[in-house]
Amino acid sequence: MTKFEKICKTLDDTQKLAYKFAKLIENDGCFISLYGEIGAGKTAFVKQVAKAIGITEKVTSPSFVILNEYHSAKIPVYHFDLYRLEHEGVKTIFDELQEYSEGKQITFVEWAEFSQNQIPFDHIKINVTYEDDDSRKYSFEGFGEKCNKIIEGLK
């Protein structure tokens, strides 16, 4: 497992990190699970990655709709927010989530902890924590060869 962490003192730093990450995943895609409390900066990161790969639609939080999808860049971006499904609901869609990890697409999943078990396919886990004020820590962990390589690219 490869790890990398970065403290982003401002939203601008988060944008820079997101742009760097976007360059590493924009050709082959990736499945990314995001962890961190409410308001930590999960959606903020997804928004910047989507912008960096050329998504022209407005990226909003999928809290109420579970899934938003964007098709205006060269590969599609899927953005799940499982918060409202909680544990029981997530169980019913977890097999479907696996399909989103295959092929050239980028899939972000917020509140993946509701799945309760380890994600059984290659993915990158991002944990976002509050530091102070506008400062956030983004911690990356890669699972699988391709994902570890992406994280090496962030260093």
Which residues of this chain interact with ligand ATP, rule CB under 6 A?
Answer: 8, 10-11, 13-14, 36, 38-44, 61, 63, 110, 134, 136
Closer of 39 and 103 to ligand ATP (Cβ): 39
Residue 40 CB, shortest distance to ligand ATP, in Å, is 4
Nearer to Mg ion, 2 or 61 (CB): 61
Name the residues that contact Mg ion, by CB under 5 A.
Answer: 42-43, 61, 110
24 contact, one of ligand ATP, Mg ion, none, CB 5-8 Å limit per kind: none
4, 32, 35, 98 from 150: Cα distances, Å: 10, 12, 19, 20
Rounded Cα distance, 85 and 54, in Å? 30
Instruction: Return the structure tokens found at 39.
Output: 């308001």
Q: Give the pair of three-digit tokens for residue 95.
A: 């097999």
Query: In 3D, which of 25, 13, 35 has the Cα closest to residue 150?
Result: 25
Amino acid at the residue 120:
P
Closest residue by Cα to residue 106 from 25, 24, 21, 23: 25
Nearest position to Mg ion, beta carbon: 43
153 contacts which partner out of ligand ATP, Mg ion, none, CB within 5 to 8 A by kind?
none
User: Rounded to 5 degrees, what angle do the CA atoms 60, 5, 110 make?
Assistant: 30
Smaller CB distance to ligand ATP: residue 44 or 93? 44
Q: Which does 103 bind (CB under 5 to 8 A by kind): Mg ion, ligand ATP, none?
A: none
3-state secondary structure at position 84: coil
Q: Which does 11 bind (CB under 5 to 8 A by kind): Mg ion, ligand ATP, none?
A: ligand ATP
